[in-house]
Amino acid sequence: MFSIYILTHNEEIDIAACVESALLSDDVIVVDSYSSDRTVEITSRYPVRVIQHQFESHGKQRTWMLENIETKYDWGRC
């Protein structure tokens, strides 16, 4: 098994389908950049972890995520 990361910002239109497609893992982590739409609300309906972190750039967000968020498994997919 492996952990799955999902980076989001104002993704209310697509987030449900995205999360549902990731639920083959029991460790899904959504890193949200303080969305102003319903992204976090929709995501919280699923058995996933939602963590918010201020966005600077895609690269910095990804690096922060990989360095600061513990995963259940040693393997992860972004």
pLDDT in tens, the chain (78 residues): 889 999 999 999 999 999 999 999 999 999 999 999 999 999 999 999 999 999 999 999 999 999 999 888 876 555
Question: 51: which strand partners?
Answer: 31
- The rounded distance, in Å, linking the Cα atoms of 69 and 51 is 9
Instruction: Report yes or no: 48 and 29 within 8 Å, Cβ to Cβ.
Output: yes
Count CB-CB contacts under 10 A for residue 27: 19
Q: How far is CA 12 from CA 17, 22, 32, 60, 62, in A?
A: 10, 16, 11, 23, 20
CB-based contact 54:34 (threshold 8 Å): yes
What pTM was estimated for this model as a whole?
Answer: 0.89
